Structure 1
Amino acid sequence: MNGTSPRRYAVYSIIASVVTLALKFGAWGMTGSVGLLSDATESVINLAAGVLALTALTIALRPSDRKHAYGHGKAEYFSSGIEGVLIIAAALGIAYAAIDRFLNPRELSNLGPGLALALVASVINFATARIMLRAAAHFDSITLEADARHLLTDVWTSVGMVAGLAVLLAAPQWQILDPVIAIVMAANIVRTGVSLVRRSVGGLMDNALPPDELERIGAAIRKHQGERATFHGLRTRKSGQRRFIDFHLLVPGATSVREAHDLCRVIEDAIEAALDNAEVTIHVEPLECASSYDGREVGGMSEASVMADRKGRNS
């Protein structure tokens, strides 16, 4: 994937959505199944999500400028958040159609050919989603991941729907299964939509980096800070693919500006080696100054441990 752009994979999603949309609406037209209609409706959302993803990635990949010093990475969260809302809306529409079919049942026809078209569409979506998940991991893109997870959800709901309709093919008297399957799919789609919205809101609200990444940051600092230095006030956030990290580094007051700068450079390099797309800002403070200890934690240690450590340094 070196030399490629994440936007290319959003284009793959759009192409796959157009193809599967045609296949699924064809399957619905042949059978009249509300389950297949719900599946086709989901493909409409997939197509809209793919266009949103491409737009968001185009914006997010723009370099920083005077008005956007931290870049445009948060555009990805708008895309995934809107996608989540669209998924929830589609699920409500599916549930409404299923209830209507439950109250006004009618016989289904041509299930065999319709199921075949739905299965072909599912295979296309599955292959596209797997490619996009690998790209999402490579580019660290929540937009590509959201689009891929959406496609996979479509695959699993399609498989469940096809399995249920296959039962109808063998036992036509079980017409009730069609709206029941659609309602179950709608519930699953709502769950995916809510999850995407929550993650997107977390990104927009500057949630801290995951615990495993915080641990890697702490380990990198402790490895290079030396015996006489410590740190506190660690703050992290993520904007699209970029991670922003800042903290206070406490060093002995006798340390020269050159020495402090060199130490900061080593620590910054270590953190950037541990985490991709990390941008580190370090504020240097004198270790002996009481005002330097303005946080409840220093380097992840409890307040009592900090005071004991500080007392030991001054003795």
Structure 2
Amino acid sequence: MKEKRNIIVIALIVSIVLMLAKFSAYFITFSNFVLTDAAESIVNVLASAFAFYSIYLASQPRDINHPYGHGKVEFFSVFIEGTLISIAGIIIVLKGTYNLFYPHEVHKVITGAIIIGVTGAVNGGLGYYMISKGKTLNSITIEADGRHLITDMVTSSGLVVGLVLIHFLPYMWLDSGLSVLVGVYIVITGYKLVRKSVGGLMDEADFTIVQDLIRILNEQRKVEWIDVHNLRAQKYGHELHIDCHLTLPNYFDLNRVHDEVHLVDELINKEAKIKTEFFIHTDPCLPDCCYYCSMPNCPIRSEPKREYMEWTMANITRNKKHFEQ
């Protein structure tokens, strides 16, 4: 958690410095196009500040009021960031549209382009670093902040190209027109972040994570694990919570059942890229399971195995044993 906080602090400090640089570029050029980038930099600072708090809160231990921990605050952090980005984009579109009808002259656009180009390069490098660390540390907050900085790099690159065009082309409307286009792009980016955060807060299934779990279980399944079904995955910050049913031979005693459950838990936590808490409900096998059961020397087998049942998204997430259609 200390590493996460350090990354966010660095992002916050860099965001403040770059915000001041961008506003200096605006006051040099008085370009609406530059103002789009400067306005978004305010969002960078606010988002990084809130991200720092959310990382701190997510690191707090579970308590009686939060039995699954505080990790979901990271989704709320991303929601705030996406909302702020969208608001900034809407304001930029409105101001740019106004200035299309009431244009004004811009100044020293090449100087402004150089300043914006440098800030964009810094944001791009920091953004790629944060995305990489966010995936490594399983932090949606750090990854979202990194993607926001990449968006800022893209808009800054567009700004540099646009400012060069403004310098060489005698069209006063070009500054405002380009700022409107960038504003629309910023709104779309903000919407995507809000959509992702709402999905997390609503416990929307993360199919990438579930597919990875299914792959691990298929590759290292034991013959004792007759089937897995009713699997549900919920992400709480950097941790994953999974409920599932595991069908085992009905002649296993409680100690053997406990051992098999522990093996599933141990396997996933060793092979998956995210810390996982399992709640596994065990079901006894039924005679109808025999045709896909691989258990050797089974004393209660009613028919030979005749089919290999691969675990898939379809059969592992249903609340039914595999023979139940």
Contact 1:225 1:267 in 2 (8 A): no
Distance in 2 between the 1:73 and 1:21 partners?
29
User: Percent of aligned positions with the same letter in both sequences?
Assistant: 32
The equivalent position to 2:210 in structure 1, one of 203, 214, 218, is 214
Normalising by structure 2, we get a TM-score of: 0.86
Change beyond 3 A, Cα 1:219–1:153:
closer
Partner Cα distance (1:306, 1:71) in 2: 37
What does residue 241 of structure 1 align with?
A: 238
Query: Does 2:191 match 1:174?
Result: no
CA distance in 2, matches of 1:218, 1:118: 46
Q: TM-score, normalized by length of structure 1?
A: 0.88
Counterpart in the other structure of 2:55: 57
Task: Tell me, yes or no, if the aligned pair for 2:229 and 2:319 is still in contact at 8 Å.
Answer: no
> C-alpha displacement at 1:307, in angstroms?
4.3
Residue of structure 1 in register with 2:299 after alignment:
none
Match of 1:299 among 283, 306, 316: 316
Instruction: Write the deviation string for residues 4-62 of structure 1: whole angstroms up to 9, x where unpaired.
Output: 52111111111111111111111110111001111100000110011011011110111
Cα offsets for 1:196-216 (capped at 9, x unmatched): 0011011101112324x3233
| Aligned ranges 1:110-189 → 2 under 5 Å | 110-171=108-169, 173-189=170-186
Task: Name the CA distance, whole Å, in 2 between partners of 1:307 and 1:284.
Answer: 17
Instruction: Tell me which amino acid in the other structure corresponds to 2:211.
Output: E
- Ranges in structure 2 where 5+ consecutive residues have no aligned partner: 289-313
Per-residue CA deviation, residues 56-84 of structure 1 (Å, 9 max, x unaligned), is 11101111122211010000011000111
* CA shift digits 1:264-308 (9 cap, x unpaired): 111111111222211111111221399xxxxxx753689796149
Give yes or no for contact 1:12–1:128 (8 Å, CA) kept in 2: no
Candidates 264, 268, 290, aligned match of 2:261: 264
Match of 1:192 in 2: 189
1:194 maps to a residue whose letter is Y
Q: Alpha carbons of 1:304 and 1:139: their partners in 2 closer, same or farther (altered >3 Å)? A: closer
State the distance in 2 between where 1:201 and 1:161 align.
Answer: 31
Assess if the C-alpha contact under 8 Å between 2:82 and 2:191 holds in 1. Answer: yes
Whether the aligned pair in 2 keeps the contact of 1:27 and 1:117 (CA below 8 Å) is yes
Q: Name the residue aligned to 1:278.
A: 276
Whole-Å separation in 2 of the counterparts to 1:283 and 1:220 = 19
Give the whole-Å Cα distance in 2 for the aligned partners of 1:268 and 1:243. Answer: 12
Please say if residues 229 and 320 of structure 2, whose CA atoms lie closer than 8 Å, have aligned partners that are also in contact: no
Tell me the residue number matched to 2:12: 14
* Aligned residue type for 2:141: T
| SS of structure 2 residue aligned to 1:5 | helix
Distance in 1, Cα, partners of 2:246 & 2:321:
19
Residue by residue, what CA displacement relative to the aligned partner does 1:235-280 show, whole Å, maximum 9, x if unpaired? Answer: 1111111111111112222110011111111111111122221111
Give the 4+ runs in structure 1 shifted more than 4 A: 300-305
C-alpha contact (below 8 Å) 2:92/2:179 kept by paired residues: yes
1:87/1:190 contact within 8 Å kept? yes
Assess if the C-alpha contact under 8 Å between 1:216 and 1:274 holds in 2: no
What's the Cα RMSD here? 2.2
Relative distance call for 1:262 and 1:54 in structure 2 (3 A) is same
AA at the equivalent of 2:226: A
CA separation of 1:307 and 1:93: change in aligned 2, threshold 3 A: closer
- Alpha-carbon distance in 2 for matches of 1:174, 1:184: 16
Q: Give the drift of 1:112.
A: 2.0
Q: Which amino acid aligns with 1:218?
A: I
The structural deviation recorded for 1:219 is 4.1
* Structure 1 unaligned blocks of 5 or more: 291-296, 309-315
Match of 1:205 in 2: 202
Give the deviation of 1:174 after TM superposition: 1.8
| 1:228 positional shift | 6.6
- CA gap of 1:27–1:220, structure 2 versus 1, over 3 A, is closer
